[in-house]
Amino acid sequence: MLICGLIGGIKHLSSSNMKKKPTKGDFLEILLRSPHSIFSTKEVALLWGEDDASIVSNRLKSYVRAGKLVRVHKGLYAKDKDYNRLELATRVYTPAYISFETVLAREGVVFQHYENIFVATYVSREIVVDKQKVSLIRMKDYVLTNTAGIVHKDGVAMADKERAFLDRLYVSKEYHFDNLSNLDWDKVFELLPIYRNKRLEKKVKEYYKNIKE
């Protein structure tokens, strides 16, 4: 799954603490040492080696009251207000990754600026998380959990421009892209089979033919 890297890292950190149960002064320090800026209560439980969810929840709430952590969404906490909003956008529903216009605009494939963060996950809805608008777009499970074309960096799973291009065409029958010249078309066709979609294959070939003419 897309969050396996994150969970794997957390399990590694937590396993290193299993021999010695964290003491009272260690709990917050364990979170602050993590490279991630956002934590779910389940991930914190792993880091602390704590099976009792109520203990984890109460301890996190006490840190929030003391101003040592920030609660940014139900079950999600940040080290401080300067957290990574892309990371938060992919943590409300998991598995998930940043894609669509968020990537396409960054890569110059579309020229319009979007305030929303676009996320591929298993539900479709518009949400607001800590004043940030997030557009969640549902993908089939076999597409969502395929990690081809997904890059993990700084706690964020993000599609490369070729995967984002295919994701958008997968959910939109027609779409205007401003600049397709900087796509790696060999990679586009390499990723295409993961969608198992004849309509998409036909549409991609049409776009490719048009830019070559």
DSSP 57-105: HHHHHHHHHTTSSEEEETTEEESSSS--HHHHHTTSSSS-EE-HHHHHH
pLDDT score at 22: 73
pTM of model > 0.95: no
pLDDT score at 51: 92
Model confidence band, residue 14 (pLDDT cutoffs 50, 70, 90): very low
Looking only at the bridges linking them, the beta strands covering 76-78 and 70-73 are antiparallel
pLDDT score at 21: 63
Residue 107 DSSP symbol:
T
Judge whether residue 19 has pLDDT over 50: no
Mean pLDDT of 59-87: 96
Q: Closest by alpha carbon to 110, among 101, 99, 97?
A: 101
Model confidence band, residue 20 (pLDDT cutoffs 50, 70, 90): low
Q: Where are the domains of the chain?
A: 4-83, 93-212
Token digits for 148? 């081809």
In the chain, what percentage of residues exceed pLDDT 90? 83
Give CATH for domain 4-83: 1.10.10
Sequence-separated (6 or more) residues with CB below 8 Å from residue 76: 38, 39, 40, 88, 91, 92
pLDDT tens readout for residues 99-133: 999 999 999 999 999 999 999 999 999 999 999 99
**Arithmetic mean of pLDDT over the chain:** 90
